[in-house]
Amino acid sequence: MKVSSDQYFYIVWILSLGFLKSSCLECHIYNLTECGASAEECAKSRKTETCKLESNTSTTACYALWKRPHNSTRDILQYKGCNLNNNHCGGLSSCVERNYGKQYDPNSLTFYCCCSEDYCNDVYEWIPDSTTTTVKPKIVHPNRSSSSILVFTLVPVFCVVVISVMYFLRRKILTKPLTTSVSQIDEEKILLDKSESSQTLSITLVEVKASGRYGKVWKASMAGSNSYVAVKILPLREKASWKLEQDIYSLPLMIESEWIVRFICAKTHQPSDVDNLQLWLVSEYLEHGSLYDYLKGNTLKWTELLKIAITMCNGLAFLHEETDGGSRGYKPAVAHRDFKSKNVLLRPDLTACVTDFGLAHIFYPNKPVGTCHGQVGTRRYMAPEVLEGAVSFTRDNFQRIDMYACGLVLWELASRCGAQQGPIGDYRLPFEEFVGQQPSLEEMQDVVVTQRKRPTIQNDWMSHPGMAVLAEAMKDAWDQDAEARISASCIVERLKAVSNKAV
């Protein structure tokens, strides 16, 4: 096949700059605000993370952000991590800042660099280009050998020569504007288009209600409101989850659903510590808290269990289904991807609503799902195919993973219901009888994939006709064969049929 000159230069350009990357990018991560007094030791920990692409069209990069106090030669690392959809970093093998820096506070300059190779943000540096008006000494972090410095000095020069040649050969490519993405350094002050009203809301934090690996949830008061609100606070490195949750809540019909927690706004918050920018998600506050919290301290009547189970599954079914609201808009299908009892909240009348969409996936029509998702979610609730890394990334498969977790939550409900003839035991998490409270991934793989175990269904449950139906539903939801699992709407139909009978 004959290759035209245009096609040839496209191919050379793409290969030379490395825009195509088939695997997930690995980056070093660091957050000064989480280190406290042990920042120096924290910086040596060399933690890493995998940048997860959400589609075939997404791009990702590693970045580093550091500050240099005025009249000082000592630089202070602030953040390292992943940047999603940061197109201007493509093809960069080293993390180099070529501008003078930006002055976000009167006492220091802020430097930022990004690159697109595995662990390329381990070392970061400032090398001013010829257009920099103020000459400053070269900054290199951490210490390098002279040969390493020479290599990374010559590489940019070589790239400039190549790019200059390509400019004259293929001007249309090189004249494409390199826009600054939202994940560049300006994200430290503005990460999204935020309404002025949400930024000026006066919110006072009252007490921590929950804490997890991604952040904390606070009970808070809001000026102008007689009721409390819930504030989920995320660190800056979780900006992708913060934006994703806003995208989910912004979908048509979401705000109207009684089975989804009511979202109020998102905002950034800058405490007195200038380096500690926080990402806030503000929603309605529910005194009962999560289903997990409620089951630990309360047992359920059969009618209460039915109400919780039906409304919870209604929420999951609403997420999973495409809904055409006519003039109100079209809601695409959504997979939760971290469904568990901690992510189900209870209203005062014990109806359930679903929350926490930081790992969710929206299935937009005609948009590929992508192939780089990894093992996300909570280990205890991971489906067998997730634990063994054998997921085919389709809408149906993602939703079947949710249904597996739903079956485990139904078991949690049943274990605390007084409809059974025998005594009600203390609350236990799914699989706690086999792996305890802090299982490793290997332990869950052995129990769920190899031994094919599931939480024990007590014989006493089967003496109650409603509990027997519930037990069958949970078994059909957590089936080892993903394609055999029933849908959330099917569970609703079964439980409604039971509720219409005298049991």
Instruction: List all residues 6 or more positions away from 17 whose beta carbon is below 8 Å from its beta carbon.
Output: 90, 91
CA distance 413 to 292: 9
Q: Exposed, middle or buried by CB within 10 Å (0-12, 13-18, 19+), for 221?
A: middle
Whether 61 and 83 have beta carbons less than 8 Å apart is answered as yes
φ/ψ (deg, to 5) at 495: -70, -35
Strands (E) located in 2-142 = 25-28, 30-31, 48-51, 60-69, 76-84, 95-97, 102-105, 108-115, 124-126, 139-141
How far apart CA 313 and CA 472 sit, in angstroms, is: 15
CB within 8 A of 369, min separation 6: which ones? 55, 361, 363, 393, 394, 395, 398
Q: Which amino acid is at 352?
A: A
Residue pair 215/234 in contact (Cβ under 8 Å)? The answer is yes
**Backbone angles phi and psi of 478, in degrees to 5:** -105, 25
The closest alpha carbon to 306, from 424, 473, 485, 475, belongs to: 473
Write the single-letter amino acid at 461: W
Question: b vs e for 238-260, b when ≥16 Cβ sit within 10 Å of the residue's Cβ?
Answer: bbbbbbbbbebbebbebeebebb
> So which residues are the catalytic ones?
338
Residues contacting 52, CB < 8 A, separation 6+: 24, 60, 372, 373, 374, 376
Report phi then psi at 368, rounded to 5.
-65, 150
